[in-house]
A and B are shown apart, each in its own frame.
Chain A
Amino acid sequence: MSVSTETAPGGRIVKQSVLARYGATLAMPAGIVVLLVIGTVLSDRFLSVGNLTNVLINMSIVGIIVVGMTFVFVSRGMADLSVPATVAVGGILVLMLDDVIGTWPAALVGVLVAGLAGVVNGLLIGYAGLNPVITTLATGIIVLGTAQAFVGGVIVYGQDTAAKDFLTGRLFGVVPVIVLVFLVVALLGHLALSRTVFGRWTYAVGSNPFATEASAVPIRLVKGGAFVLTATLAGFSGVLLGISLQAARPEIGTGYEFDAITAVVVGGVSLLGGSGSIPRAIGGLLFVTLLNNILILQGVPSEPQGMVKGALIAGAVALDVYLRRRGGRE
């Protein structure tokens, strides 16, 4: 996926300092190139088709969630913390139902039920005006608790190895199917955000909700919609995860919310809303995944890995704030 970052609607001229303008645009591609060089120098296993394909496969599941999370960020909805729960709903439902109604109908049910949790989030956040972080934290706990009660704390196993083989296989023996699925979702998400009415409304709501409401835009629908989308995509991720592992526990989605948030933030999508794009967020995801890969190849234990990720988030947010100030706006 290209990581060009000037694809926000209508490639526009912005009165900003040179650093702010080109810094924001070129920092991510430059960072990815630097990582590729560092990785190649440090390890001879890094720059191989096998390893880089692994990087892409690792990106794919969380990448689908990143697409939804980008909508949440751009609409100034802060973040969706119920992702682990909706991932679990998708993963568990597809495996519980696959021998009853077949894998693909079961997948659809998983996605829809996860989407339903998103509708609850959307109603509470968009219409009732509750704080998104607290709301999604709460619904996440409720949904996860329900899933645990439902499953009874055991692991759900699947039966459909054909579906697993298809998903973990490669198209024409080259392109991993799961990567392809992710790329299609990312492309659709990108088109939705940059070319549709809903996408434009999402930017407008995030940039100035007052003027947007005064322009006859249904802002509650737009704000809520970002959460419905995120939950639906997280459910879809869970379904893919369940099928490819043929096993799911309620804790299957743990950590995906933070991985997605990290990617979006590192991609330079502002938590303050109104700007950013899917390619940017995917660029952030690629950056984080490459970094992870290098750390693993170097045999760095997981604790320092976490420290590096945390520093990366703080650094990216600080840079966003700095660039906004340098951008010469009030």
Chain B
Amino acid sequence: MSEAVPALRMSGISKSFPGIRALTEVTLEVAAGEVHAIVGENGAGKSTLMKILAGIYQPDEGTIQLQGETVRIAGPIDARKRGIGMVYQELNLVPDLTVAENITLGSPPSRFGVVDRKALRARADEVLAELGAKVGADDLVGSLPVSQQQLVEIAKAYASSPRIIVLDEPTSSLSENEAQALFRVVQRMKDAGIAVIYISHRLREVIDLADQVTVLRDGRLVETRPAAGITAADMIRLMVGRDLTDVFPKREVPIGDVVLQVRGLTRAGHFENVDLDVRAGEIVGLAGFVGAGRTEVARSIFGLDRADGGTILVKGEQVNVRDPHAAVEAGIAYVPEDRKRDGLVPQLSVKDNISLAVLSDVATAGWIRRGAERRLATEKARELGVSPPVIDRRVDTYSGGNQQKVVFAKWLATRPEVLILDEPTRGVDVGAKADIHTIIGELAASGTAILMISSELPEVLAVSDRIYVLHEGRVSAELPRGASEHEVMHAATGEVAA
């Protein structure tokens, strides 16, 4: 393999986004007929690297070589033309078309501009047979279970005769048995001489399936080595090996009674039988990989999604969180993960955003008392250090950190008993991050029960009094303060601690 020209060579790839360095001089080499796994924590740079390969991002530095030839991948269509097939976690299929139609969607065989149905069917059968995928070509994609849709998605990528196929978390929504069918398909592609890049959080799969493993951490290449002989513990060590510096000072506060009690919370297909307790003054971390169900749990507690079962109690009283309004009434507040979508109303001012959830409190018979509203917004903006504190300015003219402070301000105005924070420091600069941690500490000190989701493990470890780890929609561990990064990662990958 050292002699042959690799199917793909990405060398010295660096990529920055405003305020974040996503990748630093990462090199990846994948040979034809090789299954190459990429592992790493959330935010390690796996997705960014693949998006560069797919032409969605352009690298700031570095080169990409396909079969030894240096290329510039202009965009997703160009990537496909150059023989790069992408299979993302989210499926991109047309549910109302048949399997055969979906597989050939990119370039349906046609005669005189009319789709040749016979040829189309033949091509789809051929692709499915080559992959050994047992899916009915005439079935409507929308009627298939997710596991089979996944195979169709792969068949669709395979139909364009790629030399490289990227599978991004293909098994995250599959059961063990369903995953087996997928592994057979991967084996077929490997035998056909395709270079397969396989991204997964399931380390056992990586061990079984991969020839080579590349570990990324904080946007840098840690190591690439043969999968033979590697253990899950080895990989976890490589993924986390980081100094836990005291960048997140933790304020010690007395911890009181249980405020939030979640029992058996279930939402089919997302999470199952989740039990959580959060006490007054306590900061409880909710760790796990992206897709493990953390945000989904939070959304259900806040009434944004309906849970199928389970109970939620606030201060011992059961609450029916039909919608966010009911949650707010019960004393629950939620700082969402996606600030742009769920956090802010962009065209409104800082004042309007801060008062949005408590507008009725500053109104008489539906008529907004403007003085009261301004006082509330000014006070909260100042309390949280929104700078500059110009409450009439449109919120979307502020930086990410200030916008996040506005979202906090909105929720603090509701005087919550329980505050759920979903990635509270994502996309904010270092200074604002420290501010937000100070705010969280003060809130805990004032007796608020805090449930914090964060993909940044050091943050979770430093700030939390206790940590729940989710793995594939279930609580896989409850860890006390002082737990190591290793313990959390073991639980998050579903591996039993070594």
Q: Evaluate contact between A216 and B393: CB separation under 8 angstroms.
A: no
A15 touches B345 (CB 8 A): no
Determine whether the beta carbon of B347 is less than 8 Å from that of A207.
Answer: yes
A15/B343 in contact, CB under 8 A: no
In the complex formed, the residue of B with least CB distance to A209 is: B345
- Asked if A200 and B352 make an inter-chain contact with CB atoms under 8 angstroms apart, the answer reads yes
B170 within 8 A of A: no
Q: Are B325 and A12 in contact (CB under 8 A)?
A: no
10 smallest CB-CB distances across A and B, nearest first, come from A207-B347, A216-B328, A216-B325, A274-B347, A15-B397, A216-B324, A215-B356, A215-B357, A214-B342, A208-B345
Given A216-B327, A218-B325, A329-B396, also A197-B345 (CB < 8 A): no
Interface size class of B (residues with CB under 8 A): 35 or more
Closest chain-A Cβ to B333's Cβ sits at a distance in Å of 9
Chain B residues, CB < 8 A from A308: none
**How far does the alpha carbon of A214 sit from the alpha carbon of B356 in the complex, in Å?**
10
By a CB distance below 8 angstroms, the chain A residues around B397 are 13-15
Name the A residues within 8 Å of B342 (CB-CB). 210-211, 214
CA of A207 to CA of B327 in the docked complex: distance in angstroms?
23
> Once the chains bind, are A10 and B336 in contact (CB under 8 Å)?
no
A-B contact pairs, 29 of them (CB 8 A): A12-B392, A13-B392, A13-B394, A14-B394, A14-B397, A195-B368, A195-B370, A196-B363, A197-B360, A197-B366, A200-B352, A200-B355, A200-B356, A207-B345, A208-B345, A208-B347, A210-B342, A211-B342, A212-B345, A213-B304, A214-B324, A214-B334, A216-B327, A217-B357, A217-B359, A218-B323, A218-B325, A274-B345, A274-B346
Interchain nearest-CB distance for B349 vs A (Å): 5
How far apart sit A161 and B328, CA to CA, in the bound complex (Å)?
56
CA gap between A216 and B413 in the complex, in Å: 13
Nearest B residue (CB) for A206: B347
Among B52-97, those with CB < 8 Å from A are: none
CB distance from A77 to the nearest CB of B (A): 16
Which of A9, A12, A214, A217 has the largest count of B CB atoms less than 10 A from its CB?
A214
Report the interface size for chain A: residues with CB under 8 A from the other chain. Answer: 29
Q: B344 interface residue, CB < 8 Å from A?
A: yes
Q: Are B345 and A211 in contact (CB under 8 A)?
A: yes
How many A-B contacts are there with CB distance less than 8 Å? Answer: 103
- Asked whether B121 is an interface residue with its Cβ less than 8 Å from the other chain, the reply is no
Shortest CB-to-CB span from B387 to chain A, Å, is: 15
Given A212-B356, A214-B324, A216-B325, also A10-B346 (CB < 8 A): no
Among the listed B323, B325, B343, B390, which residue makes an inter-chain contact with A211, where contact means beta carbons less than 8 Å apart? B343
The residue on A at minimum CB distance from B302 is A214
Chain B residue nearest to A217 in the complex (CB): B356
A50 on interface, CB distance cutoff 8 Å:
no
Q: Is B410 an interface residue (CB 8 A)?
A: yes
A207 touches B325 (CB 8 A): no
Interface string of A177-218 (1 = CB under 8 A from B): 000000000000000000111101101100110111111111
Task: Annotate A248-278 by CB proximity to B: 1 below 8 A, 0 otherwise.
Answer: 0000000000000000000000000011000
Residues from chain A with a CB closer than 8 A to the CB of B414 are 216
Q: Which single residue of chain A is at the shortest CB-CB distance from B391?
A: A10
Residue of A195, A207, A214, A217 touching B367 (CB-CB under 8 A)? A195
Compute how far the CA of A13 lies from the CA of B328 in the bound complex, rounded to whole angstroms. Answer: 31
B376-428 with Cβ < 8 A to chain A: 390, 392-394, 396-397, 410, 414
Residues of A within 8 A of B325 (CB): 216-218
Q: How far is the CA of A15 from the CA of B396 in the complex (A)?
A: 9
Assess the A10–B352 pair: CB atoms within 8 A.
yes
Chain B: minimal CB distance from A141 (Å): 28
* B352 surroundings in chain A (CB, below 8 A): 9-10, 200, 203-204
Q: Are B394 and A197 in contact (CB under 8 A)?
A: no
Q: Taking A12-B393, A195-B368, A214-B342 as contacts, is the C-beta distance between A207 and B363 under 8 angstroms? A: no
Separation of A195 and B328 alpha carbons in the complex (Å): 24
Nearest-neighbor residue (CB-CB) of B357 within chain A = A215
Name which residue of chain B comes closest to A272, CB basis. B347
Query: A207, B348: Cβ atoms under 8 Å?
Result: yes
A216 touching B368 by the CB < 8 A rule?
A: no
Q: Nearest Cβ distance between residue A302 and chain B, in whole angstroms?
A: 38
Q: Is the CB of A11 within 8 A of B345?
A: no
> Which residues in B have their C-beta under 8 angstroms from that of A204?
345, 348, 352, 356
Beyond A195-B367, A197-B360, A200-B359, is A214–B347 a contact (Cβ under 8 Å)?
A: no
Do B349 and A9 touch (CB < 8 A)?
yes
Chain B residues positioned under 8 Å from A9 (CB to CB): 348-349, 352
B349 adjacent to A10 (CB under 8 Å): yes
- Does B118 sit within 8 A of A, measured CB to CB? no
* Contacts known (A200-B368, A216-B325, A216-B357); A13 close to B345, Cβ less than 8 A: no
